[in-house]
Structure 1
Amino acid sequence: MEGGNKIRSVDKAMTLLELLGESRTPLALAELERRSGLPKSTIHGLLSTMREHHMVSQQADGRYCLGLRLFELGCAVSASWDVTGVAAPYLSKLSSVTGATAFLAVLSGGEAVTLDQSREGGGLRIVSETGCRLPLYCTSQGKLFLAYCSSEAEQHRLLRAHPPVSHTPHTITEPGQLMEELRRVRAQGYAVEDGEFRIGLRSVSAPVFGPGGGLQYALGAVGLFRRTTAPEFTLATRLATDYAAQISAELKALS
């Protein structure tokens, strides 16, 4: 046990699950050893234990992948979240009106995680999949989570965990400039990404507050908007903020 709280074997097991989750194909024991830096004997023991609980599965060729039990637990978690059911019609309307991909995101592990998304009609699907993780400092949903942190110290803690790097020439990596951007986000009540994560893509995110009044989710739209001052982007901003406020009200009523 480390620091009186951290159980090393559990921490190592979580590392293996994350590696299997990040991989698009099953991994052999040797590959898990290389990626994790853990001894092969430790990995084998942890995988054997997790396999008994169906957290991991071993294929005929000996490689490992995530198990069915994790899917069942994920479904149970999803079913316990009122927000996905509440937000679904708003995501559909936001996408239908703007022609962009609408998304709902949550802060997890120092990154913005997509909980749900909607792409009505044809065209380019921007968000690749539910569950994808995105950096905080260069996405609208991420900047929203940073801006609404409880303190500047918490903002710095999250940024230290995932230091800013340039994804495009527009990525804000200079600390002073980024903090000024976060103050602007908090003041205006929504966040904008202007080609900072992917060239040509622009997005807007608005805060969804929980029953206690704190920020819990980000509702937004991402697409090939011409510029952030274009009428279609202004419309997306207005709808995102309006719909986020309505979802917040519904979540409070359900509590």
Structure 2
Amino acid sequence: MTDEMRTGTRIRSVSRAAHLLMLIASLPEPDRSVNRLAKELGTSVPTVYHLLNTLVDAKLLARDERKQYRFGFAMEVLSAAYAQQTVPPPELLAPLRWITDATGESAYLSAWRSGNPVVLAHLAGTHAVQVTDLRPGYRGAANARASGKVLLAFAEPADRERYLAMHPLESMTPKTITDPAVLERELARVAKNGYATDIEEFSVGVACIAVPIWSNGIVMGCYTISAPVQRYRQHKARYLASLREAVQMLGDQPATQPQEGVGDPA
């Protein structure tokens, strides 16, 4: 078997088209000029026009009356299919394994699926003392979970408002946030600090800390560490550093990380 057969043929035009779609997704509308797209792709303006026209023909893009390119209705089909997919992207699992190896604690991968913050994967830690497991597929009590707070804090405002309007704030323990105003302040702090915690808000005796996973300026999910409260309080800084190192493995993360705010919970 040749090297090409083993690795698979790469078609340059397809790669450029995929990159172009990602650029359109990540750039603000005023910045989506053909010249800007050509510069970002490292190619010529005529080539970008060829790619754009091909994507319009495929209904992946549409050209409006202002001659602006935006996503076409075929993207809705792809988006809906992705939103229903509960199998985690393989590239996100290696950093998840690294988290458990580095900390010895249980780790989770969560993301938005069909309008809900859903646990996609869970790896048990190696410490003798384990905590209550959240199995893949769990989608409740976003207000009580560190992962739920991260996904809510970094969601589009309309998506967050829609979720909160449809899901009453569940009380899982006496420490769960059930006041909408308090939750709003908590989510603002999460957005500022770049991570979320829950200290016995979901399960008594258990604490969690979660960080977002970015791709092209969009939060694609989050990683979470879960540990007994006492061990969490001793190692919170190390857990946070490990989570951030894990997301850096994926690349395309913010160049600087927010720092802990004043009065941040232990």
Could you state the TM-score of these two structures normalised by the residue count of structure 2?
0.58
> Which residue of structure 2 aligns with residue 104 of structure 1?
109
Q: Which runs of 5+ in 2 are unaligned?
A: 1-80, 254-266
Structure 2 CA distance, aligned partners of 1:196 and 1:125? 14
Superposition deviation, residue 93 in structure 1: 2.0
Superposition deviation, residue 190 in structure 1: 0.6
Matched, 1:225 2:245: no
> Which residue of structure 1 aligns with residue 73 of structure 2?
none
Among 128, 136, 139, the residue aligned to 1:133? 139
CA contact (8 A) 2:131 2:228 kept: no
Structure 1 CA distance, aligned partners of 2:112 and 2:141? 10
Superposition deviation, residue 227 in structure 1: 6.8
After TM superposition, the structure 1 = structure 2 runs for residues 13-162 of structure 1, keeping only pairs within 5 Å, are 84-121=89-126, 123=128, 124=130, 126-151=132-157, 153-162=158-167
In the TM superposition, what whole-angstrom CA distance separates every residue of 1:69-92 from its partner, at most 9, and x where no partner exists?
A: xxxx99xx577x6xx322222212
Superposition deviation, residue 101 in structure 1: 0.8
Tell me how many residue pairs correspond in the alignment: 171
> Which residue of structure 2 aligns with residue 213 of structure 1?
217
CA contact (8 A) 2:105 2:126 kept: no
Superposition deviation, residue 221 in structure 1: 0.8
Structure-2 change in CA distance of 1:98 and 1:134 (3 Å): farther
Structure 2 CA distance, aligned partners of 1:158 and 1:197? 18
Report the AA paired with residue 237 of structure 2: T
Structure-2 change in CA distance of 1:161 and 1:227 (3 Å): farther
CA contact (8 A) 2:176 2:202 kept: yes
Among 241, 245, 250, the residue aligned to 1:242? 245
Among 193, 214, 217, the residue aligned to 2:198? 193
Structure 1 CA distance, aligned partners of 2:145 and 2:202? 6
Among 188, 197, 213, the residue aligned to 1:183? 188
CA contact (8 A) 2:131 2:206 kept: no
Structure-2 change in CA distance of 1:189 and 1:108 (3 Å): same
CA contact (8 A) 1:207 1:245 kept: no
Structure-2 change in CA distance of 1:142 and 1:169 (3 Å): same
Give SS of 2:244's match. helix
CA contact (8 A) 1:115 1:130 kept: yes
CA contact (8 A) 1:225 1:233 kept: no
Structure-2 change in CA distance of 1:88 and 1:127 (3 Å): same
Structure 2 CA distance, aligned partners of 1:222 and 1:134? 17
Root mean square deviation of aligned Cα: 2.6
CA contact (8 A) 2:206 2:228 kept: yes
CA contact (8 A) 2:146 2:198 kept: yes
Could you state the TM-score of these two structures normalised by the residue count of structure 1?
0.60
Q: Which runs of 5+ in 1 are unaligned?
A: 1-72, 251-255
Runs of 4+ deviating beyond 3 Å: none
Structure 2 CA distance, aligned partners of 1:110 and 1:87? 20
Structure 2 CA distance, aligned partners of 1:125 and 1:197? 12
